[in-house]
Structure 1
């Protein structure tokens, strides 16, 4: 038996160990480059691309994050004041609303935390598009391979490159940008699917705000804010042919490309249509989801195909048609990985929960996470009418119609009539602030979701989570597992 082993068991054991010390060769380059401008007397305040420019996050964004269950009730948020650069108070951590829109959520997933720790990165080092690339990678690994993502496999597919201030007049080495210094790019010759990001995601650094845990339990799973450029630790790491499981994944991808019509759009649709946040800690993998009451979903509200297209275009460049079809459907509880896949990737069985007990006791009658029309941010129901029940007789349902529907009772939290949602705003309204912002965050002025207009006092107060959601049900954060569970 030992002669037939291909080393997978030893490789998996190595992956479970600590990732190791920073790369000595590149460990100090980031700090040297970041200080070069100051050493030469260059005034870097004139360079605004990639620089801190304050935050324009409003109460509407915070309410949206709670309502769409991107932030659990156990976390408090604080909107920045007039500071240009983050100045968190003790116990606070800096996060970005633009990241939440692209697949990030709290508490952060174990993979995302390992990724940050291994490369010694902070959230402000990653631009909005990098979060989208990480989300797509996780969706592929969980939904189409059936495995939890690993940093080793990610490193075989992607490079980490430093972003410098682009000005030939600056002396060498040029300074590193203050925000978005880490750029994720596919490795040369990588067979992984390409996901074009949005060029319009340039003001993402203006969406920072502060979060802190309300109790002893950690519902954030991020390190405290540390200003400055990244150390570039382990940025040259590439397991190459030495990683047995990744080699199997590459061969598996080739078989998928030859035998199916899988595309990058399928991977984006996998987490958009199933209403999950790939970089949020969840009860189980995408391949183990089982219907719209699944506890890993941020909402029980389903999407039709046109809504999936609208949401996908918010986070990436895509020519996805309105009446799209799956090239390859992701795995689910009803359609698990095949016996051949289990033999190829024995780790799949080790990652399957012993039991599955859905705990979602709510039902959303309004989409808590609607799409955005242009630069006018509105909160309310999605473009199409709400899909019918999840069944094979509903052809417009973008979620897997073959999945089992988990039937559960749910508790209603009645809302007094005086607190019910106001009528939906007329088309073309710019919201209570009268502003149209450039960055694309899925939030809006008050409308059918029950969100009240913002006031000046709201922007300065610490924000507790709202107690009612949509006037019908109250969320129980069963999809959020406390750290250590």
Structure 2
């Protein structure tokens, strides 16, 4: 059963607030007169011939007019209108162009794009969406920058407006006029793969991308790339005078506005990406981008490979026998949430398909898995517009051409034979089996890392216990050292006191030697002056008090003669001082004379 295509029922009156308009002015998107036009009261877009329909959420993710030739080529090759791409798909293209020009030093490369991206329908089992009905996905087997896309962009389908469509080269390169009810048909070009020649030519670019992702300490992320093009105020999806590797700072001719404040920039990045307030917004890239101050290396080859644009007139669209109503083959992560028609309640939330870079591979017929030949700009077919017709065997054997082999038939055609259904299911099973194998390998690698972390944790615990034991031993040594220092201090003080006693005893020893003219030796002399002095004191200790008593008695008898008017002192020292005065000494001297 084919999914119901909402078509025109998805459109409703645009609800653009004054806050949205002020944001457009702040970003410089309304700098050019008539670049944007806001709807009045119409509930269905009716743009004039020079305008196309886009959304506020497209513009804040890097879109501006005139539109970049790379995006024009993508819309032409994939057979899409601007309003059929989701906001996250627009951001994918902006990040890719910024990556090519700022970090690879090349123009956005069509062959490199085919190696990384493919397209998928956005819908559910019962509904096929027209607004945002196509999502750009990273191929399952490609390691690409992890961009934290929001799972839903609330209400983005309601904020539609008109953007001026004017190709600087020629009117024939303008994107397709607006058709809000046109059915989206999956084309062979959605799964177009790079040829072997293109893979060889872009292998150096793929190696550089892997280097940018995995260089330790200099890892580049999708968040850094997004914040960078928002910070420099140059829209990647706008046709510009110079590539971004020639960015000249504040004076650059392609800048749309002055620098945003840090607060406004962080708010805008968090709005675009799935980031909370706890996530830090990078103020710069870990890898310095190419610019006017960081020129490309000498002899750097600037590759150029744009998606082919039409030449002369529209090309014929030829149907391919493959069903488009197999919505179950689309990854579950791409299934959108509830979307509503113009008559539904405003309280419901429009959501966008989650464009995870790790989505499962979709089922496809073996024909779509074959490698296609390169489509060069100069080889664009020029066929007259004609009704759909059956293809001959000769035409079916031709190399893939995005213009001739354009459409994949819708569910209105006859059902495939049962054998084709078995082939489709077998191909889908192989895809899931390969994805399961990759998940098993990833799980095994995660288990190895977990075991290694557990071993390191055990080693850390042992080291912690050893450190605690060593700390206790160090504390004990510190205490013992303190006690030793105290003991040493006491010994030092005691030694100083002994030295002082020895000095005083030596002085006394010399005094007694001078008076007695003899030095006493012990029975076992050991040349110990302290013991000599003590022995001398023991020998003459009794003579000293007696001598002092005799001297005091004699001075007492003489005192009345010399100091008749004074009272005799009590102590022997004071008594001797009375006889030491010059007056008494002079009198004694006169008496003797």
Give the deviation of 1:202 after TM superposition.
Answer: 3.6
Specify the structure having the higher radius of gyration (Cα). 2
| Corresponding residue number in structure 2 for 1:281 | 239
| Corresponding residue number in structure 2 for 1:206 | 158
| Corresponding residue number in structure 1 for 2:268 | 311
Equivalent position to 1:290, from 245, 248, 264: 248
| Corresponding residue number in structure 1 for 2:114 | 155
| Corresponding residue number in structure 2 for 1:337 | 296
| Corresponding residue number in structure 2 for 1:117 | 76
Cα distance in structure 2, aligned partners of 1:334 and 1:225: 42
Cα distance in structure 2, aligned partners of 1:289 and 1:213: 25
| Corresponding residue number in structure 2 for 1:189 | 141
- Paired residues for 1:83-482 under 5 Å: 83-167=42-126, 175-212=127-164, 221-227=174-180, 228-233=182-187, 234-239=189-194, 241-243=196-198, 244-259=200-215, 260-301=218-259, 303-304=261-262, 307-318=264-275, 320-322=279-281, 324=283, 326-339=285-298, 342-343=299-300, 345-347=301-303
Contact 2:118-2:138 within 8 A present in 1 as well: yes
Give the deviation of 1:182 after TM superposition.
Answer: 0.6
Cα displacement string for residues 245-264 of structure 1 (whole angstroms, at most 9, x for unaligned residues): 32221111223334432222
SS at match of 1:183: strand
TM-score, length of structure 1 as denominator length: 0.55
SS at match of 1:251: helix
Give the deviation of 1:277 after TM superposition.
Answer: 0.9
Cα distance in structure 1, aligned partners of 2:49 and 2:260: 40
Structure 1: give runs of 5+ residues left out of the alignment: 1-31, 39-43, 168-174, 349-434, 441-485
**What is the RMSD computed on CA atoms of the aligned residues?**
3.6
Contact 1:266-1:329 within 8 A present in 2 as well: no
Contact 1:107-1:221 within 8 A present in 2 as well: no
Pick 1 or 2: higher relative contact order, CA cutoff 8 A, min separation 6.
1
| Larger fraction in helix | 2
Cα distance in structure 2, aligned partners of 1:323 and 1:67: 21
How many residue pairs were aligned? 302
Cα distance in structure 2, aligned partners of 1:74 and 1:214: 13
SS at match of 2:161: strand
Contact 2:148-2:274 within 8 A present in 1 as well: yes
Contact 1:125-1:229 within 8 A present in 2 as well: no
Give the deviation of 1:156 after TM superposition.
Answer: 1.3
Moved more, 188-197 or 60-69: 60-69
CA 1:303 to 1:146, structure 2 compared with 1: closer, same or farther past 3 Å?
A: farther
| Corresponding residue number in structure 2 for 1:473 | none
Give the deviation of 1:327 after TM superposition.
Answer: 1.7
CA 1:307 to 1:165, structure 2 compared with 1: closer, same or farther past 3 Å?
A: same
Cα distance in structure 2, aligned partners of 1:109 and 1:216: 10
Cα displacement string for residues 356-385 of structure 1 (whole angstroms, at most 9, x for unaligned residues): xxxxxxxxxxxxxxxxxxxxxxxxxxxxxx
Give the deviation of 1:71 after TM superposition.
Answer: 4.2
Cα distance in structure 1, aligned partners of 2:78 and 2:128: 16
Give the deviation of 1:70 after TM superposition.
Answer: 1.9
SS at match of 1:160: strand
Cα displacement string for residues 256-280 of structure 1 (whole angstroms, at most 9, x for unaligned residues): 3344322222212221221111111
CA 1:116 to 1:71, structure 2 compared with 1: closer, same or farther past 3 Å?
A: farther
Give the deviation of 1:303 after TM superposition.
Answer: 4.4
Give the deviation of 1:95 after TM superposition.
Answer: 2.0
Give the deviation of 1:213 after TM superposition.
Answer: 6.8
Moved more, 214-223 or 275-284: 214-223
Moved more, 56-65 or 190-199: 56-65
Give the deviation of 1:325 after TM superposition.
Answer: 5.3
CA 1:287 to 1:165, structure 2 compared with 1: closer, same or farther past 3 Å?
A: same
- Paired residues for 1:52-91 under 5 Å: 52-58=11-17, 61-62=20-21, 64-65=23-24, 68-75=27-34, 77-91=36-50
Give the deviation of 1:186 after TM superposition.
Answer: 0.9
SS at match of 1:209: strand
CA 1:437 to 1:65, structure 2 compared with 1: closer, same or farther past 3 Å?
A: farther
CA 1:58 to 1:195, structure 2 compared with 1: closer, same or farther past 3 Å?
A: same
Give the deviation of 1:164 after TM superposition.
Answer: 2.3
CA 1:253 to 1:287, structure 2 compared with 1: closer, same or farther past 3 Å?
A: same
Cα distance in structure 1, aligned partners of 2:282 and 2:109: 34
Contact 1:54-1:206 within 8 A present in 2 as well: yes
Cα distance in structure 2, aligned partners of 1:203 and 1:258: 36
Cα displacement string for residues 59-101 of structure 1 (whole angstroms, at most 9, x for unaligned residues): 6645653553324534354433444332334443222122111
TM-score, length of structure 2 as denominator length: 0.45
Give the deviation of 1:193 after TM superposition.
Answer: 0.8
SS at match of 1:317: coil
